[in-house]
Chains A and B, each alone.
Chain A
Amino acid sequence: MMSDLLQLKNISMHFGAVSALEGVSFSVRGGEVVALLGDNGAGKSTLIKIISGGLKPAAGQLFFDGAERHFQSPHDAKLMGIETVYQDLSVCMNVDVVANFFMGRELTKSLFGIPVLREAEMKAITESVLRAGGTRIPSVKVNAEHLSGGQRQAIELNRFVHWGGKLVVLDEPFAALGVEQVRRGLETIAHVRDQGIAVIIVTHNMTHAFDIADRIVVMHQGRVAGDVQTSETTHEEVIRMITGDAARRPAS
């Protein structure tokens, strides 16, 4: 069994007098999809913000890739290979797929000392990465605005994988997507996992969680109310955890 890529130990977080997280321990392995479930206000957003460097925990430890980390900003976390994908937040609709794919990492050559884009090369790389990732789009020269939400998400995921990401947090990845797009999205996530990448999916949709996740973690009132292998639980049990009527922790 692979060791944990990310491990949180006894994380607590307070906003003034309000306690958002209380002694949360949580872990993900490489090549594992974990679904993070819970009602609004259960602490999911706070938890993923801590993971991606957006918030600093009041107490507790965060281990990533074999060492304790203290992320000062999302940029820190990103440098380590952690990224949060919000729907369309990291996509520029007004430029083509290639430009989105290479955003901030453009390949250039020097022409009389002026950096010039290596457009053909970037196009070829984008095409091959998307093809390998199983993403179907009409042309990589088409602007992102002409793509479906699912296609854009796939591009973001492929981009993440290509640039050496290790842990991706997907925040409500299937909101506002059609049935077919959800199916493709699930395929893409499976593809990402198969490359040894850890995936955390924050969702309200239990069906999606059961479809894709290897493990389900349920938050309730700032605590972990359940942490179970998908194969060893049922919809009913997870619902009881979400509503606070049951709690189950791994035996370890």
Chain B
Amino acid sequence: MAVADNRDVPGRQSMTGFSRTIVESILDNVVWLILFVIVTAFCLFIPGYAQVGIFFNIIEQATFVGILSVGLSIAIIAGQIDLSIESTMALAAMLTATLVSTGELGWGWAPTPIWLVIPGTLAVALTLGALVGLVNAFLVVKLKINAFIATLATYIFLRGAVVAFNGGGAVFGLPQSLRSIAVTRLGGIPMLAWLTIAIFLVFSFILTKTPFGRYLYLVGGNPVAPFRAGIAVKRIAAWSFVLSSVLAAFAGWLLAARTSGATPNLGLGMLFEAFAAVVIGGVSLKGGVGRLSGVFAGVLLLSAIRTAINLLSMPPQYTQMIQGALVLSAMLLDALKTDVRARYL
């Protein structure tokens, strides 16, 4: 029997296994490598870039796209897609800001003690996120509407809701206690940067170490197999929508604190940045593949580039072209990676 063959080749096998592991880990972490190279180059060539404060800025400014990317990654890994996250974020921000704003359009909710606005608005924002997620899940899992179409519809609807919320008006004048989330530093590092890192760590843990995370990959890879194995496939898909929406709402809550208010166009364009980060980070749009560590590198890469553009002296008209070119090169890199994998592994 084959047991004999097994003893035949252990040396050779562990060799290929070992070198495969090395090549795989290089391919998996290639974004971190690129991030390192690019940031080093920026430090060398852009005056004012090489300072700790700028690095904190990069992480802090990555907060919103970063948290959106975590949710988007979860949805995509589970074989779905969620286009509504940006609008969910904006609506959560608008709701949060309106609730506590002392300005003309605000409702001026001021509980005693005032710090209660933090858990209060957070609960409202996250509830909104959960509701949006449930609606998306209902449309896609229950009514079997294509996820792209269903969440495109919620994306448009919710952005409209943000505009309509205050008749197109912007809300400002948030209480200091809520603002403190965006202003406070912990150990010299901005609170938002800590939160971003924490979100990535927590969800990395969930994706790699828990059965739920494992099921997300299984469902995204081949839903028939986990279904046959008795896993509640539909429930997993539904959870992926709820999680991505709740994360988006959390990002919106932070965004309201950061911009000290909310505008109808808040966060416009962040969906595409999140997509870029997710793809650069190695999450396959086909589902079932990708790791949040790569996505974090992708988010930081985009943020580092944006900061570089902010500091470079160049005509403002070219900013978006550069960003577009970078996203395209990231896609090409991804294609190259797949090619290397197919050829040598």
Question: A residues near B, CB below 8 A?
Answer: 74-75, 78, 89-95, 99-100, 103-106, 108, 114-117, 119, 131, 134-136, 138-139, 141-142, 146, 184, 187-188, 191
Distance A94 CA – B21 CA, assembled complex (angstroms)? 16
Q: List 30 A-B contacts (CB under 8 A).
A: A74-B228, A78-B230, A89-B224, A90-B225, A90-B228, A92-B225, A93-B221, A94-B288, A95-B214, A99-B218, A103-B218, A103-B231, A104-B230, A104-B231, A114-B210, A115-B210, A131-B3, A131-B6, A134-B6, A135-B2, A136-B2, A136-B6, A138-B13, A138-B16, A138-B17, A139-B13, A139-B14, A146-B345, A184-B2, A187-B1
CA distance A181 to B69 in the complex (A): 42
Chain B residues in 8 Å Cβ range of A78: 228, 230
Instruction: Please state if A103 and B225 are interface contacts (CB–CB under 8 Å).
Output: yes
4 extra A-B contacts, CB within 8 A, seeds A91-B225, A134-B2: A95-B218, A134-B1, A138-B13, A146-B345
Q: How far is the CA of A51 from the CA of B234 in the complex (A)?
A: 26
Verify if B239 is at the interface (C-beta below 8 Å from A).
no
Hey, which chain A residues are within 8 Å of B225, CB to CB? 89-92, 100, 103
A114: which B residues are within 8 A, CB to CB? 210
Interface residues of B in 1-27 (CB under 8 A from A): 1-3, 5-6, 9, 13-14, 16-17, 20-21
Of B17, B210, B211, B220, which is in contact with the most chain A CB atoms at under 10 Å from its CB? B211
Q: Which residues of B contact A139 (CB under 8 A)?
A: 13-14, 17
The answer to whether B228 touches A89 (Cβ under 8 A) is: yes
Question: Would you call B6 and A91 a contact (CB within 8 A)?
Answer: no
Closest to B217 in A: A95
Q: Are A92 and B231 in contact (CB under 8 A)?
A: no
Give the CA-CA distance A90 to B224 in the complex, in Å: 7
A184 to B4, CA, bound (A): 13
Give the distance to chain B from A53, nearest Cβ to Cβ, in Å.
12
- 6 nearest CB pairs, A to B: A104-B229, A94-B221, A94-B288, A134-B2, A92-B221, A103-B229
Q: Does chain A have a CB within 8 A of B105? A: no
Tell which of A100, A117, A141 touches B209, judged by Cβ atoms closer than 8 Å: A117
Cβ of B289 under 8 Å from chain A: yes
Whether the pair B214, A106 counts as a contact (CB closer than 8 A) is yes
A106 to B229, CA, bound (A): 11
Most buried by B among A74, A91, A103, A105: A103
| Chain A hits for B345, CB < 8 A | 146
Contact partner of A116 (CB less than 8 A), chosen from B6, B9, B210, is B210
CA distance A108 to B213 in the complex (A): 13
A105 CA / B228 CA spacing, docked (Å):
12
Contact (A75, B211) CB under 8 Å given A95-B218, A99-B218, A103-B218? no
A54 to chain B, nearest CB (A): 11
Report Cα–Cα, A136/B2, bound state, in Å: 7
Contact between A99 and B217, CB atoms less than 8 A apart: yes
- Nearest CB on B from A18, distance (A): 27
Is B176 interfacial (CB-CB < 8 Å)? no
Complex Cα distance A21/B222, Å? Answer: 32
User: B226 within 8 Å of A by Cβ?
Assistant: yes
Bound: A100/B230 CA distance, A = 13
**A93, B2: Cβ atoms closer than 8 Å:** no
Min CB distance B141 to A, Å, is: 19
- Which chain A residue shows the least CB distance to B345? A146
Complex interface: chain B residues within 8 A of A188 (CB)? 2
- Assess the B218–A91 pair: CB atoms within 8 A: no
Q: Which A residues are in CB contact (< 8 Å) with B6?
A: 131, 134, 136
**Beta-carbon nearest neighbor of A104 in chain B:** B229
A90 contact from B13, B210, B229, Cβ within 8 A? B229
Residues A94 and B220 in contact in the complex (CB < 8 Å), given A115-B210, A134-B2: yes
B2 surroundings in chain A (CB, below 8 A): 134-136, 184, 187-188
How many whole Å from B12's CB to the nearest CB in chain A? 9
Residue of chain A at shortest CB distance from B18 = A139
List residues of chain B with CB within 8 A of the CB of A141: 17, 21
Q: Does B13 lie within 8 Å of A103, measured CB to CB?
A: no
**Taking CB as reference atom, which chain B residue is nearest A156?**
B225
**Interchain CA distance A33-B276 in the complex, whole Å:** 53
User: CA–CA, A103 to B214, complex, Å?
Assistant: 9
